[in-house]
Structure 1
Amino acid sequence: MAHAVVKVVERCENAQENNTLDLSECQLMHIPDAVYHLMRNTELKTCDLSCNVIKKIPPKFALKFNLITDLNLSHNQLSRIPDELADLNSLARLNISHNSFIVLPPVVFKMPKLRELDASNNAIIEIDTDEMVTSDCLELVDLKQNPLCRVFHRKLQNINVPFRIEVSEYDEDADW
């Protein structure tokens, strides 16, 4: 346990120099308050929280790290993200792959500068396509390896959006 704490503190200190916070593979169950305290005077541009066991991102994350352009939340246990992440006005890349999402979070379509969204390898069966068409900056939405039903598969193939949507081939025999 002490080793994990030292690892987090060291990575926060490194982030103060390069504006890139890498807390991947730190066995985090949540984002410790100490991280917000250690990073209070740092303008983070990149944050990597991948490969942990995080179940929830707190709303204050967007307030404390509002200049982030790249956020990696992959390989955690997330099933939703807070609406406050729409306040990440500079966020261009978001990776929520390899989590427990059943529905693609509508907040991703409210992020004003989001260009790339990786939501692959989740349990997404449903997407609000009405929300999807409102996004101005999106260039790519990766939905590969999700158990999208046939109806949504067809809907996504026929939807008229100015960005690329990547989905796996629909397989009627797939055992999701």
Structure 2
Amino acid sequence: MRPPTHFGNDITNTEANGDDQQNNNNNNNGGGNGGNNNNNHADHIVERLTQMGATINFPKVAGRGIIRVVERCDDAKENNNLDLSECELIQVPDAVYHLMRHTELKTCDLSSNVITKISPKFAVKFSLITDLNLSHNQMARLPDELADLHSLEMLDISHNSFITLPAVVFKMPKLRELKANNNAIIDIDRDEIIASDSLELVDLRHNPLTPMCHDLLKHAVLSFRIELSERVKEDWEDLTECE
């Protein structure tokens, strides 16, 4: 049995999985049993989820990805820590919300995927998490609804594509540590940072901050620590000083 064709293409990076799937097909055609076992396992999981009533979108070639996600969801039911890192996800699939509907998660790790956005319903489904790792993805914004993560203390958005710090991070009442290093952040609204009473550390290293923003943050008197990289002067700045 194969996943129905209407399951679509919105759970994993099928292009990244294409070569692996071709290898699996070659193994199956060669008479090996390993590939058949994996396919049977994936088919069983799909059948199990559809029988549970989940509305799930699975790509046709992501059998191993399906197995990995479902197995990690099963682990999370035992330890309350959901680790979906390195699953080649392009978003958090609806199936995950369905599988976790009776579990009070404490942490969620979505790092090292190809996620471009987080759904607004994430905060509703996982409202009790204290640690959220979104690092090493392709995000440039966060939904305002994440302000409803009232228990969140640690947020990692490093190694993404943010050009400014999302305003929502300053609305999380218990956020203590924000890692935003290795993005494309140019400027920071200093008034928003000062308005946060809970922050203890903001990591902004390895961002192309403007000279003015860098200097303001470097000399700001705040109740928490800001980590900045040493700024290297541009060539044009040296020319300006010579004038």
Scaled by the length of structure 1, what TM-score is found? 0.97
Counterpart residue identity of residue 192, structure 2: E
Instruction: Check if 1:30 corresponds to 2:109.
Output: no
Partner of 2:64: 3
1:71 aligned to 2:132? Answer: yes
User: By how many angstroms is 1:109 displaced?
Assistant: 0.9
**In the alignment, structure 1 residue 134 sits paired with structure 2 residue 171:** no
Structure with larger RCO (C-alpha < 8 A, sep 6+)? 1
Aligned to 1:87: 148
Structure 1 segments, 4+ long, off by >3 Å, are none
Secondary structure of the residue aligned to 2:145 is helix
SS at match of 1:152: helix
Note the C-alpha offset of 1:106: 1.1
CA shift at 1:6, angstroms? Answer: 0.6
Pick the structure with more helix per residue: 2
User: What is the alpha-carbon distance in structure 1 between the residues aligned to residue 95 and residue 118 of structure 2?
Assistant: 15
In the alignment, structure 1 segments of 5+ residues that lack a partner are none
Q: Secondary structure at the match of 2:158?
A: coil
Q: Normalising by structure 2, what TM-score?
A: 0.71
Q: What amino acid is the match of 1:170?
A: R
Residue matched to 1:165: 226
SS, match of residue 155 in structure 1: helix
Tell which structure's C-alpha radius of gyration is larger: 2
1:11-65: CA deviation from partner (whole Å, max 9, x where unpaired):
0010000000000000000000000000000000000000000000011000100
Identity of aligned residues (%): 67
Q: For the aligned residues, what is the CA RMSD?
A: 0.9
User: How far did residue 158 of structure 1 move?
Assistant: 2.4
1:125 equivalent among 160, 169, 186: 186
Structure 1 residue matching 2:199: 3-state secondary structure: coil
State the SS of the aligned residue for 1:102.
Answer: coil
